[in-house]
Structure 1
Amino acid sequence: MLTKRQEDILRLIIQNYTSDEQPVGSKTLMESGIEASSATIRNEMKTLETKGLVLKTHSSSGRVPSLNGYRYYVDHLLVPNTVSTEEIVTVKHAFAKEFHEINEIIRQSAALLSQMTNYTALALGPEMSDRKLTGFRMIPLNQRQVVTIIVTDKGNVQSSVFTIPSTMKLHDLETIASIVNDRLLNESLLTVYHRLRTEIPMIMNRYFQSTEGILDVFEHLLSQAFEDKVFVSGRMNVLNFEADQSGTNVKQLYDFMKDSEALGQLFASRNGSIQVKIGKEIGVDLFENMSMIQANYEIENHGLGTIALLGPANMPYAQMYSLMNLFKDELAMTLADYYKGLDHVYHL
């Protein structure tokens, strides 16, 4: 552990560096309120450097925080800021609009958070493995392409465009939709997922000489319905604070940020209310100089959701921590109200 003065110096180094991204020297620390001589402050900074909490740059006698320094700050020194009235009004206004589906609320939260911070925002809705299939439609776009739409009792809509097999005719779509609606409607998705692998293939064989490609489409669509859907806004903002701008690294970042499955893995740990992961703690080498603040929320009877910010390691943690706390509370209330509305409709 550090002494009180060492903690004060570390806190002020981080706050000043976050503000202007310039190495912090003893003079700045004296001006910021450290009551000690320049020599004493330099000795304390050398101690912090020895402990791996700050780094000395080659161009100045000032220090900058290390990733371990940020970790210590978050764990021991962080005092969340008071959220501004303007931020509260902005967030509440955004969530006060009328929403038509769950995914719209989740998508809106990610877009607004990214807009307010200029970082990358990720949002994951509540887990609903017990949801039921309440609607299934197949709509032709042309002679070969079809849109399939799945609707669940929790307000989720999942659509997918696919190309039908060459052996299949458009009028066969009505037969497929009838089979699904007659046998799977109002069943839990877990049951639907199971029956698509057991009962439905045998039934399809009664109606079609070949089911090649058809069952693969169903499996893909239902797999998507089961997967946690990550909404991402400001994907390429990560390039604004990534030091390595080489062509190879930019391409790797771009490819990763397009991979929803990979992004979902960032939420591997969803314990606690607000978590801060710094550098390698994120679990992705591309983000080793970044930080992620993850806020989890729970909707009674509907599961756990998450919203997160991916930004530079020198992000203003006190400000972002408070903003994330506001976001998760407003998002949770909005979703809870939406679910109550659905429950009211279903019980009429």
Structure 2
Amino acid sequence: MLTQRQDDILHLIIHNYTNLGKPIGSKTLMEEGIAASSATIRNEMKTLEEYGLMVKTHSSSGRIPSLKGYRYYVDHLLEPEKLNQSEIDMIREAFGRDFHEINDIIKQSAEILSHLTSYTALSIGPDVRNRRLTGFKMVPLNNRQVIAIIVTDKGNVENQVFSIPRDVDSDDLEKIVQIINDKLINEPLLTVYQRLRTEIPMILHKYFQTTEGILELFNNMLNEAFEEKIFVGGQMNLLNSDQVQDVDQFKAMYLFMKNSQRLNELLSAKDQPIQIRIGSELGNDLLSDMSLIQANYEIQGHGNGTIAILGSASMPYSKMFSLLDVFRRELAGTLNEYYRSIDSFG
């Protein structure tokens, strides 16, 4: 463990550096209230450097935090910064619009958070596995294409354009829709998923010579409905950051941000309301100089969701911690209100 003075010095260096982006020297620390001589402070800074908690820059006698220093700060020294009322009002105002489905809220939350923080924001909505199928229809687009729409009882809407098999006409499509709705409406998605592999093919075969294309379509759409969607706000904030040094890294980062499976894996830890992971803790070499602040929330009866920011390891942790805490509560409140409106309407 560090001494109290070393704690104070590290705290002030990180607080100043994350807000100003400049190396911090002994003179600044004296002005900030460290009651010691300049020589004593420099000796303490050298000790902290030897512990691997900070790094001396080449351009001055000042120090900047190391990744290990940030980790120590988060674990032992972080004090959440109180948000001012205008910041809280801004978050509430952003959620004060009308939303037409759950994914609208989740997508908007990522965009709002990215705008507020200037970091890349990631948002995952509550679990979907207990939802029920409440609607299925096909809308013709032209002679050979239709858009198929799946609706669940919790406001999720999935749609997909597909080509009609040549041996299926419009009357066939109406019959298929009728069968699906008669047999599967108001069933849990898991039940729908199972019956599409057992009962429904046998029923369809009574009416059609081939049903492979239609069943494949519905299967693909249900996979979409089951998928834990992740929405990204402010993607270019990350791609344009100082952490991206060359074209190859830009390409790799771009592909990473487009890979929903890898992003979901990044946010898979959900055992704490708010957690901060730094550098190698993110499990990806691309993110070795970055930090992720992840805030989790629970919607009673509807599962858990996650909102997070990804950016430089030198982000102002105390401010971002508080902002994420307020944000997750406002997001959960918005989702709860939406679910109540659906339940009361139903």
The TM-score normalised by the length of structure 1 is: 0.95
Which residue of structure 2 lines up, in the alignment, with residue 277 of structure 1? 277
* One-letter code aligned to 2:213: G
Please say if 1:255 is aligned against 2:255.
yes
Separation in structure 2 between the aligned mates of residue 236 and residue 164 of structure 1, nearest angstrom: 38
Is the Cα contact below 8 Å between 1:121 and 1:232 reproduced in 2? yes
Alignment of 1:14-33 (within 5 A): 14-33=14-33
Give TM-score, length-normalised by structure 2.
0.96
Distance 1:273 1:13 in 2: 27
Q: Which residue of 2 aligns with 1:189?
A: 189
Q: Which moved more, 1:157-166 or 1:89-98?
A: 157-166
Q: Which residue matches 1:59?
A: 59
Residue 241 of structure 1 aligns to a residue whose secondary structure is: coil
> Which residue in the other structure is 1:38 paired with?
38
Q: Output the CA distance in 1 between the equivalents of 2:74 and 2:340.
A: 37
Counterpart of 1:333? 333
Give how far 1:314 is off. 0.5
Q: How does 1:143-158 map to 2 (within 5 A)?
A: 143-158=143-158
How far the C-alpha of 1:325 sits from its partner, in A, is 0.8
Aligned residue for 2:121? 121
2:25 is aligned with what amino acid? G
Q: CA RMSD in A?
A: 1.5
Contact 2:243/2:312 (<8 A) preserved: no
Number of the residue aligned with 2:132: 132
SS of residue paired to 1:296? strand
- 1:182 is matched by which residue type in structure 2? D
**Paired letter, 1:98:** D
Match in the other structure for 1:109: 109
Could you tell me how far apart the structure 1 residues matched to 2:318 and 2:281 are? 19
Deviation at 1:155, TM superposition (A): 1.5
Q: What is the aligned partner in structure 1 of residue 290 from structure 2? A: 290
User: Which ranges in structure 2 are unaligned for 5 or more consecutive residues?
Assistant: none
* Equivalent residue number for residue 168 of structure 1: 168
**CA shift for structure 1 position 254:** 0.8
Deviations, residues 253-298 of structure 1 (Å, cap 9, x unaligned): 1111112222111111111111111112122221111111111111
Contact 1:290 1:313 in 2 (8 A): yes
Which deviates more from structure 2 when the two are superposed, residues 271-280 or residues 15-24?
15-24
Please state how far the C-alpha of 1:309 moved relative to its aligned partner: 0.7
Task: Give unmatched runs, 5+ long, in structure 1.
Answer: none
Q: Which amino acid aligns with 2:158?
A: Q
Q: Percent identity?
A: 59
CA displacement 1:59-111 (0-9 Å, x = unmatched): 32221111111111111111111112211111111222222221111112111
User: 1:240: Cα distance to partner?
Assistant: 2.9
In structure 2, C-alpha distance between the alignment counterparts of 1:210 and 1:43, rounded to whole Å: 81
Q: Higher mean Cα deviation, 125-134 or 199-208?
A: 199-208
Structure 1 letter corresponding to 2:207: Y
Deviations 1:278-337 (A, max 9, x none): 112122221111111111111111111111111111111111111111111111111111
Residue in structure 1 matched with residue 73 of structure 2 by the alignment: 73
The SS at the match of 1:146 is strand
Distance 2:40 2:144 in 1: 77
Q: 1:318: which partner in 2? A: 318
* Structure 1 residue 144 displacement after superposition: 2.7
Structure 1 residue 343: Cα displacement:
1.5
Identify if the C-alpha distance between structure 1 residues 235 and 171 changes in structure 2 by more than 3 Å, giving closer, same or farther.
farther
